[in-house]
């Protein structure tokens, strides 16, 4: 049985697609419990080396899913923005058409008035007039009317040009919206594929082996955190939270225990950047939706200047984010199958730190 199980796991590991690593769940401040010894009455378990291979493969799969989740969230956000822009353009087009109808109505009335007073040259009107002074005053008004008519025609032309521009912009926005819908669908397909592969790999393990796997995950996080702390980084961290960042931390930590769900922004489930963006929105600052956008658009600060509420961006592709809460710890939504938790700030490779508030 053990040989067959090893073959199944080896096959699953070979078939499953590998990308890069998403972090370990759970607290990272106490040494993990020792791996239990196999019972003499049970079948030979999967070896620690084989489980470590599985752990690394799962990390890579979930990191791939996390990166795809960022792409999905970005495409969704762009699609929402483009939908709003299309609605705004539609309103402008409707308003422009109404304006054009009114201008045409005014132009028709002006043309009719000119027609009624036309037919003879101005000299003839002057000769036939009983009151030449009144006629000359009337001539001035006619010229004013001609200028107003010319301006009316110019305004009609500009309105028509605006309508053509709005229609062109709306067509371009529709094309972008369709492209982002396709990008969103492709990202969703990749997420589902990576998570399904990870779940298939985990399904090959018995309950006791899954427990040992969780302990290996915790061990890896503990070792990374210990290495990070051994640099003396805590001696450098003296930043004080602002009132706004305290609110963000309070919100984020209040979500501890809620499940991770890719693409989710609460209130029952979150992904990593959904948690951080909602925490800061609650604190009064609207920040970018994805961890990659947060890394690109928010203010970068040195790790030594980090204070509670700052966001720690992880991995070279900025595919994960957590919120620093102080004392070398951060709160984050780790990955599918895990819950929002407190973990060591150094339990994953840190790309950098960004600050949502300028206070």
Give the highest mean pLDDT range of 160-169, 228-237, 241-250: 241-250
Q: Before 30, cis peptide (omega within 30)? A: no
Of the listed ranges 31-40, 129-138, 254-263, the one predicted with least confidence: 31-40
Tell me: pLDDT of 252 over 90.
yes
Q: Is 237 helix (H, G, I), strand (E, B) or coil?
A: coil
Give the highest mean pLDDT range of 61-70, 113-122, 123-132, 281-290: 281-290
Give the separation between CA 131 and CA 127, rounded to whole angstroms. Answer: 10
Mean pLDDT across the stretch 115-120? 52
Amino acid 133: pLDDT: 55
Amino acid 195: pLDDT: 80
300 is known as an active-site residue: no
Q: Please report which confidence band the pLDDT of residue 147 belongs to, taking 50, 70 and 90 as the band edges.
A: low
Amino acid 237: pLDDT: 83
Question: Looking at residue 304, what DSSP letter applies?
Answer: G
Tell me: pLDDT of 140 over 70.
no
Catalytic residue among 17, 151, 238, 272: 272
- N- to C-terminal Cα separation, the chain: 61
Q: Please report which confidence band the pLDDT of residue 296 belongs to, taking 50, 70 and 90 as the band edges.
A: very high
Give the highest mean pLDDT range of 61-65, 78-82, 89-93, 328-332: 328-332
- Residue 46's φ and ψ, nearest 5 degrees, are -65, 140
Amino acid 29: pLDDT: 38
Cβ atoms within 10 Å of 225's Cβ, excluding its own:
22
Amino acid 88: pLDDT: 79
Of the listed ranges 19-33, 114-128, 282-296, the one predicted with least confidence: 19-33
320 is known as an active-site residue: yes
Of the listed ranges 12-16, 47-51, 335-339, the one predicted with least confidence: 12-16
Amino acid 359: pLDDT: 55
Residue pLDDT, tens place only, 170-222: 777 777 777 777 877 777 777 778 788 887 877 777 888 888 888 888 888 99
Does domain 73-189 sit in CATH 1.10.3860?
no
In 3D space, the residue among 319, 324, 290 whose CA is nearest the CA of residue 304 turns out to be: 324
β-strand partners of 330: 324, 343
Give the separation between CA 240 and CA 324, rounded to whole angstroms. Answer: 12
Give the highest mean pLDDT range of 44-48, 65-69, 247-251: 247-251
Q: Which fold has domain 217-355?
A: endopeptidase fold (from Nostoc punctiforme) (3.90.1720)
Tell me: pLDDT of 260 over 90.
yes
Q: How far is CA 145 from CA 21, 117, 305, in A?
A: 75, 12, 70
Cβ atoms 334, 259 nearer than 8 A? no
Query: Is pLDDT larger for residue 207 or for residue 255?
Result: 255
Give the strand pairing for 341-344 and 329-332: antiparallel
Give the separation between CA 298 and CA 29, rounded to whole angstroms. Answer: 29
Q: Per-domain residue ranges for the chain?
A: 73-189, 217-355
Residue pLDDT, tens place only, 302-347: 999 999 999 999 999 899 999 999 999 999 999 888 899 999 999 9
Query: Is pLDDT larger for residue 355 or for residue 58?
Result: 355
Tell me: pLDDT of 166 over 60.
yes
Q: Is the dihedral of CA 79, 85, 88, 89 positive or negative?
A: negative
Catalytic residue among 125, 238, 300, 320: 320
272 is known as an active-site residue: yes
Amino acid 148: pLDDT: 57
């Amino acid at each position: 049985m053990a040989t067959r199980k090893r073959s199944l796991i080896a096959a699953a590991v070979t078939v499953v697609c590998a990308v890069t690593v998403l972090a370990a769940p759970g607290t990272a401040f106490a040494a993990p419990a020792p791996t239990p010894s196999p019972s003499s009455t049970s079948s030979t378990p999967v070896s620690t080396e084989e489980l470590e291979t599985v752990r690394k493969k799962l990390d890579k799969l979930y990191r791939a899913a996390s990166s795809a989740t960022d792409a999905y969230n970005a495409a969704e956000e762009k699609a929402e923005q483009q939908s709003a822009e299309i609605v705004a353009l539609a309103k402008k087009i409707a308003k422009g058409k109404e304006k054009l109808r009114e201008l045409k109505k005014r132009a028709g009335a002006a043309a009719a008035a000119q027609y009624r007073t036309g037919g003879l040259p101005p000299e003839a009107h002057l000769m036939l007039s009983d009151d030449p002074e009144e006629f000359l005053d009337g001539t001035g008004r006619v010229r004013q009317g001609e200028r107003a008519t010319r301006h009316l025609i110019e305004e009609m032309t500009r309105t028509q040009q605006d309508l053509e521009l709005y229609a062109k912009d709306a067509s371009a926005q529709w094309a972008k919206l369709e492209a982002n819908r396709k990008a969103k669908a492709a990202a969703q397909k990749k997420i589902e594929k990576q998570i399904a592969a990870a779940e298939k790999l985990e399904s090959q393990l018995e309950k006791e082996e899954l427990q040992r796997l969780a302990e290996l995950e915790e061990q890896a996080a503990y070792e990374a955190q210990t290495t990070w702390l051994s640099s003396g980084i805590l001696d450098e961290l003296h930043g004080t939270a602002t009132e706004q960042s305290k609110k963000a931390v309070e919100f984020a930590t209040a979500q501890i225990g809620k499940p991770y769900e890719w693409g989710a922004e609460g209130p029952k489930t979150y992904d990593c950047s959904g948690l951080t963006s909602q925490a800061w929105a609650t604190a009064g600052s609207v920040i970018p939706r994805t961890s990659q956008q947060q890394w690109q658009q928010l203010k970068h600060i040195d790790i030594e200047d980090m204070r509670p509420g700052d966001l720690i961006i992880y991995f070279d592709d900025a595919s994960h984010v957590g919120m620093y809460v102080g004392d070398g710890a951060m709160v984050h939504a780790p990955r599918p199958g895990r819950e929002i938790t407190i973990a060591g700030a150094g339990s994953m490779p840190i790309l950098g730190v960004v600050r949502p508030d300028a206070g």
